[in-house]
Amino acid sequence: MLEYTDKIRALSSQLLKEEKVDMVIGFRKGRRPMSNEPYMAKHPDEVKNLVWDSNCGINLTTYLTDRKEKIAVVAKGCDSRNITTHIIENKIKRDQLVILGVPCTGMIDRRKINNIVDFEINDVVEQGDTIVVKGETTETSFVKERALQKNCLVCTHRNPVLYDELIAPKVPELTDVDRYEDVRRVETMSINDKWHHFEALLSNCIRCYACRNACPLCYCPTCFVDESRPQWVGKGDDPVDTKTFHFLRAYHCAGRCTDCGSCERACPMGINMREFTTKLEKDCQELFGWQAGLSLEERPPLDSFNSKDPDAFVK
Amino acid sequence: MKTIKIEKESWVQGLEKLQDRYRLFGPMADKDSYEFKELNSGDTPVLEHGKQGNTRLSVKSVIYPQSQTMFTYTLDESKDDHHIMKEVELNGKPRAVFGVRPCDAASFRLVQRNFDTPEYKDPFWINPYEETTFVGIACDEPSKTCFCTSVGCGPYNEEGLDLLLVNESKDGNDFFARILTKKGDDLATAAGWLTNANADVDAAADVDFESRKRDAEKKITAKVSIDQLKEKKTTDLFSADFWDQVGFSCLNCGTCTYSCPTCWCFDIQDEVKGCQGKRMRNWDSCMYTLFTLEGSGHNPRSNKVQRVRQRFMHKLKYYVDKYDAGVQCVGCGRCIQLCPVNIDIREVCETMNTYTPAGEEA
Ligand code: SF4
Ligand code: SF4
Ligand code: SF4
Ligand code: SF4
């Protein structure tokens, strides 16, 4: 990953020196293992703080919303698809951006690693395809695949789809993955079982809304859960309100979600709310043959009219 | 102060006996972590969480729930008492909380300064707090994120506790317990832990306490300096240039607030279903846009950098100045563990503590 970091720094430094951009948005090394921090470099001498490794799971598109500056942004496959969606939805302009595309081989799931090892982690280092987890007195290693976020294991767009510079050669895409195994398991449940399943899934949600805030799609100035006139959702701890939040948020992301996994990564309680968004992704795929964020030319199916759209649901 | 030994068997039996007199709370497994829950008969709280250290969320919800109904009312005008707020009766049974880490125990003393002042008394916080017995557990294996010793607390701190348990040994099932207050003594008596067989264990246990305390303190390597905060000018810190970078990555997700034992802010809401209404309070966070949104639509903290600054200025400057009792943080490290973008209060504190405005360097 050192080559990635070097290339990002070199390009960033050049762009800032030549004043082609006002800032570079990337990651700096985190103080805690497995969590790099989104970072903006505004001066060439800050560029040395930029890094790249498999702990850059937060989607940086979130940091672009409504910005007015000229920005270089480091973007892996999913980020680039969300940037595309942002451009379509007028949240940023294409000509404001210099996209430094990063071919990605997946991001480490820190929760998974924490649950596998039985010691407190001091440091996690990558050596090619091996992840070495170090504790105070002991260490252990895994193949990277075992350590990946769930969404990365089934990602079919690891290479950026929109970029100005590519910081490394493209990586092979995964082709024989089943993106919807989890969704199908829920689809086949009875209505009652589904309800219980969702109840258990969300049982420890504290409604902090970290999932929403980490999501690049959730940029509404006032989210429906925060509206008070009218008030759509109760603000207490009633589980019905919690479900309402999750179901509605998922629908707001339908046809736009790229399964970047930022929501799940950000959740302090380890809730897999991606189950909802992935279901809608599957529906969009089946009904409209649509995958989000692949092209600047086409609008997402739910915000455009097409006489060829299937209409089974209104008949 | 008495020190007793509680054997595993007597621990479990004692908990069962206490069920009649107290509502019991303690850490229980919840998915891949541990949280404070009300204990049913037969539940044994899990006091050691291995590499996880403390519970994921703090103990504050036992006294100060995330969502609490304070009043109820009816809008049905055919009823005599329509539109009259009725205070919700609190469940009068005293509570006992087990497995409170010293940092969490200290946090109650800290938030007491807010809920229990000479001018204002908040019955919804004070009543449950006063009737609760706090049973602590000393930390022999502090986490990397713990920095309690830098903020006036420590792994064997007794402040805010009625009884402090210490594991006999790393894998042992028995505890030594220090009885610290009358409440603690009453609880130990009710549980039957003060019978002759196991009461007044030799002073040897006490000696052990002190050396184990020193060992535990040594394991806390994270150090933060807070000594200069008081001297700094509020306006200098407020207008410092580092906030843009500190706040840049923040998602304003409020995770830090909700997981923090010392964050006390709430919001009051009415909810009406048919004619039945309730007025409740819910945890709130200075990280949220709505927190300072005014009726006019104006928001004095309209961007996230201002909100991040508020969080740290409140904990590390305004609180320090107002109460002269240290910082509004007990060093539990939860916000550091859970922040999705790795904002670290230790780093921010260090930055504030060493800040000198440009042009004033010596
Ligand atoms: S981030 Fe997790 S706990 Fe917070 S609202 Fe979303 S699902 Fe709930
Ligand atoms: S809903 Fe989750 S996976 Fe989908 S774009 Fe938003 S953060 Fe990414
Ligand atoms: S947990 Fe981190 S990202 Fe979330 S509000 Fe707190 S500091 Fe910001
Ligand atoms: S500010 Fe962070 S470390 Fe301090 S008491 Fe709150 S959660 Fe714990």
- Residue A313 placed within a domain: no
Give the whole-number percent of chain A exceeding pLDDT 90.
89
- Give yes or no: residues B163 and B290 share one domain: no
Q: Are residues B202 and B251 in the same domain?
A: no
Amino acid at A313: F
Q: Do B237 and B33 meet the contact criterion of CB atoms below 8 Å apart? A: no
Among A148, A177, A206, the domain-final residue is: A177
Angle between helices B345-353 and B304-313 (to 10 degrees): 80
Among the candidates B199, B218, B237, a domain finishes at B218
| Domain contains B128 | yes
The rounded distance, in Å, linking the Cα atoms of B261 and B329 is 8
Residue with tokens 């990953």: A1
Q: What residues of chain A lie within 8 A of the CB of B146, using their CB? A: none
Residues B77 and B190 occupy one common structural domain = yes
Q: Whose CA is closest to atom 5 on ligand 2?
A: A257
Q: Does residue A125 sit within a domain?
A: no
B144 contacts A120 by C-beta, under 8 angstroms: yes
Domain-located, residue B361: no
Nearest to B51 among A118, A266, A268 (CB): A118
* Residue A203 in tokens: 């049982």
In a domain, B360, yes or no: no
Residues B195 and B238 placed together within one structural domain of the fold = no
Place of tokens 């008596």: B189
- A168 and A285, same domain (yes or no): no
The confidence band for B228, taking pLDDT boundaries of 50, 70 and 90, is very high
Measured CA to CA in angstroms, residue A56 lies from A28, A205, B132, B296 at distances of 9, 24, 44, 40
Atom from ligand 2 closest to the CA of residue A211: 7
Whether residue A182 sits in one domain with residue A272 = yes
pLDDT at residue B24 tops 90: yes
Residues B213 and B238 in one domain: no
Same domain, B209 and B245: no
Domain boundary pick from B218, B242, B270: B218
Residue B71 pairs in a beta bridge with: B87, B279
**Ranges assigned E (strand) in chain B:** 2-6, 23-30, 33-38, 67-74, 86-87, 95-100, 132-137, 163-167, 175-179, 266-273, 276-283
Does A221 fall in a domain?
yes
| Six token digits for residue A46 | 């800050």
Encoded tokens for B294: 């005014």
Smallest CA separation from ligand 2 atom 1, residue: A257
Rounded to whole angstroms, the Cα distance separating A136 from A150 reads 28
Question: Is residue A140 in some structural domain?
Answer: no
> What pLDDT score was predicted for residue B207?
62
Same domain, B165 and B247: no
In a domain, A183, yes or no: yes
- Give the number of other CB atoms < 10 A from CB of residue A84: 24
User: Is A163 found in the same domain as A17?
Assistant: yes
**DSSP secondary structure code for residue A173 in this structure:** P
| Same domain assignment for residues A53 and A173 | yes
Q: What percent of chain B has pLDDT over 70?
A: 95
Are A237 and A301 part of one and the same domain? yes
- Rounded average pLDDT over A250-266: 96
Q: Is residue A149 part of a domain?
A: no
From residue B137, give the alpha-carbon distance in Å to each of A132, B54, B216.
33, 10, 13
Neighbouring CB atoms inside 10 A of B135's CB total 29
Say whether both A210 and A100 belong to one domain.
no
**Contact yes or no for B311/B262 (Cβ under 8 A):** no
Instruction: Please give all residues whose beta carbon lies within 6 A of any atom in ligand 4, as ranges.
Output: B 259-262, 315, 329-335, 345
How many helices and strands in chain A, by DSSP H and E?
Answer: 11, 9
Work out the pLDDT band at A303, boundaries 50, 70, 90: confident
pLDDT at B48: 86
CB A130 within 8 A of CB A143: yes
Backbone angles phi, psi at A24, to 5 degrees: -115, 130
pLDDT digits (tens, 9 = 90+) for B145-191: 999 999 999 999 999 999 999 988 776 678 899 999 999 999 999 99
Question: What does the CA dihedral A214, A215, A221, A226 come to, rounded to 10 degrees?
Answer: -70
Which of A126, A146, A177 lies at the terminal end of a domain, its last residue?
A: A177
Give the per-residue pLDDT at B51: 80
Considering A177, A205, A240, which residue would you say is the last residue of a domain?
Answer: A177
Q: Name the closest ligand to CA B340.
A: 3
Whether residue A186 sits in one domain with residue A66: no
Q: How far are the Cα atoms of A24, B44, B191 from residue B9, in angstroms, in the given order?
A: 61, 11, 12
Within a domain: A243: yes
**For residue range B230-274, what is the model confidence (pLDDT) as tens digits?**
999 999 999 999 999 999 999 999 999 999 999 999 999 999 999
In a shared domain, residues B59 and B196: yes
Over residues A131-143, mean pLDDT: 94
- With pLDDT > 70 as the criterion, what percentage of chain A qualifies? 99
Does B60 lie at the interface with A, CB-CB under 8 angstroms?
Answer: no
Measure Cα distances from A249 to A91, A190, A257 in Å: 19, 23, 11
A-chain residues near B249 (CB < 8 A): 37-39, 63
Taking residue B124's Cβ as centre, other Cβ atoms within 10 Å add up to 19
Top mutation candidate among B110, B311, B334, B342 for ligand 4, by most atoms within 8 Å of CB: B334
Q: Whose CA is nearest to atom 2 of ligand 1?
A: A267
Query: Looking at the structure, do residues A298 and A200 belong to the same domain, yes or no?
Result: yes
Q: What are the residues facing B37 on neighbouring strands?
A: B26
Tell me the residue range of the domain where A66 lies. Answer: 1-106+157-177
pLDDT attached to residue B361 = 58
Q: Which ligand is nearest to the CA of A207?
A: 1
Three-class secondary structure of residue A311 per DSSP? coil
C-alpha–C-alpha distance, residues B329 and B257, integer Å: 11
Q: CB of A61 within 8 Å of any CB in chain B?
A: no
Do residue A56 and residue A73 come from a single domain?
yes
Judged by a CB distance cut-off of 8 A, whether residue A219 touches chain B is no
Name the burial class of residue B41, with classes exposed (0-12), middle (13-18) and buried (19+) by CB atoms within 10 angstroms of its CB: exposed
Reported confidence tier of residue A212, pLDDT bands at 50, 70, 90? very high
Statement to judge: residues A15 and A164 lie in one domain = yes
Structure tokens at A200: 């258990």
Higher pLDDT among residues A302 and A27, named by residue: A27
* Number of independent structural domains in chain B: 2
Which residue range is the domain that position B255 belongs to? 229-354
Which residue among B162, B188, B218 closes a domain? B218
Lowest mean pLDDT among A69-73, A189-193, B86-90, B166-170: B166-170
Same domain, A166 and A191: no
- If asked whether residues B168 and B67 sit together in one domain, one would say yes
- Lowest-confidence pick of A170-174, A201-205, B5-9: B5-9
Whether the CB of A284 sits within 6 Å of ligand 2:
no
**In this structure, are B175 and B243 located in the same domain?**
no
Residue at A122 is within a domain: no
Whether B1 shows a pLDDT value over 80: the answer reads no
Scanning A277-296 for CB atoms below 8 A from B yields none
Q: Are residues A240 and A94 in the same domain?
A: no
ipTM over 0.90: yes
Number of domains in chain A: 2
Same domain, B208 and B246: no
Asked if B66 and B157 sit in the same domain, the reply is yes
Angle between the N-to-C axes of helices A239-252 and A191-202, in degrees from 0 to 180, rounded to the nearest 10: 100
Average pLDDT value for residue range B272-293: 95
To the nearest whole number, what is the mean pLDDT of chain B? 93
What pTM value is reported for the model?
0.94
Please name the residue whose Cα sits nearest to atom 3 of ligand 1.
Answer: A205
